[in-house]
Amino acid sequence: MKFFIDTANLDHIREANDLGILDGVTTNPSLMAKEGIKGQENILKHYVDICNIVDGDVSAEVIATDFEGMIKEGEALAELHPQIVVKIPMIKDGIKAIRYLTDKGIKTNCTLVFSAGQAILAAKAGATYVSPFIGRLDDISFDGVELIEQIVNIYNLHGFPTEVLAASIRNSMHIIKCAEAGADVVTCPLEPIMGLLSHPLTDSGLAKFLADHNK
């Protein structure tokens, strides 16, 4: 399973990367805005800065919602750096854009996926990754992890090469559940990643070992 960090915060990306467990980065327009990255030039430079920190795929989202606009933006994003994966929303023109970019050899990440049907379309269009948002499903009382399981089963059954990238992960338990469900990738903020480190018995056990050593 690959581990991506879902942020545009360079310090968080460096911290996760320094752990030696990071395989890539996902961003979206909200995450870029959260870091105060504004204006096309700054946004593009920020993507390159991210690529220079991490070895692995970096998802950069298009803003256009029409086919022509999405492919134009997508091609420009892909030219920025070989690690860029073009993130395209799950809409009708988005599916067409994924097909077009895939045929041109450009990697894509189909985002805002909330159903197995949407995931099937993304895979048929040739998306490199499909991003089901599990936290947002949980928010409306649907089981996000169940959707990951369903998509993983369908893709395995039919041999779709599209990787299931579990997104909108809010806590460490989500990461574990998505790993159990067979997600190819999990993407989440730094906090749930660091949360995986903690166990009170590790802390008390280590304290006792050190105390005994010092006796």
- Give the residue numbers annotated as catalytic, written as ranges: 87
Token pair 């959260």 is found at 34
β-pairing, 2-6 vs 24-26, is: parallel
Site string for ligand G3P, 151-190 (x = CB under 6 A): ----------------xx-x----------------x---
85 touches 62 (CB < 8 A): no
Task: Supply the minimum distance, in Å, between the C-beta of residue 123 and ligand G3P.
Answer: 18
Number of residues binding to ligand G3P, judged by CB under 6 A:
11
What is the C-alpha to C-alpha distance for residues 148 and 134, in angstroms, rounded to an integer? 8
Site string for ligand G3P, 3-22 (x = CB under 6 A): ---x----------------
144's tokens: 């996000």
Closest to ligand G3P by CB, 100 or 164: 164
Task: Supply the minimum distance, in Å, between the C-beta of residue 114 and ligand G3P.
Answer: 11
- Quick one: which segment of 95-103, 132-140, 156-164, 173-181 binds ligand G3P (CB under 6 A)? 132-140
Closest to ligand G3P by CB, 31 or 64: 31
Q: Quick one: which of 70, 71, 28 has its CA closest to 46?
A: 28
What is the C-alpha to C-alpha distance for residues 112 and 42, in angstroms, rounded to an integer? 25
What are the DSSP E strand ranges found in the chain? 2-6, 24-26, 57-61, 84-89, 108-113, 129-132, 163-166, 185-188
Task: Supply the minimum distance, in Å, between the C-beta of residue 103 and ligand G3P.
Answer: 25
Position 136 contacts ligand G3P (CB under 6 A): yes
What is the C-alpha to C-alpha distance for residues 207 and 198, in angstroms, rounded to an integer? 14
Task: Supply the minimum distance, in Å, between the C-beta of residue 111 and ligand G3P.
Answer: 7
Residues in contact with ligand G3P by the rule CB under 6 A = 6, 26, 28, 31, 133, 135-136, 167-168, 170, 187
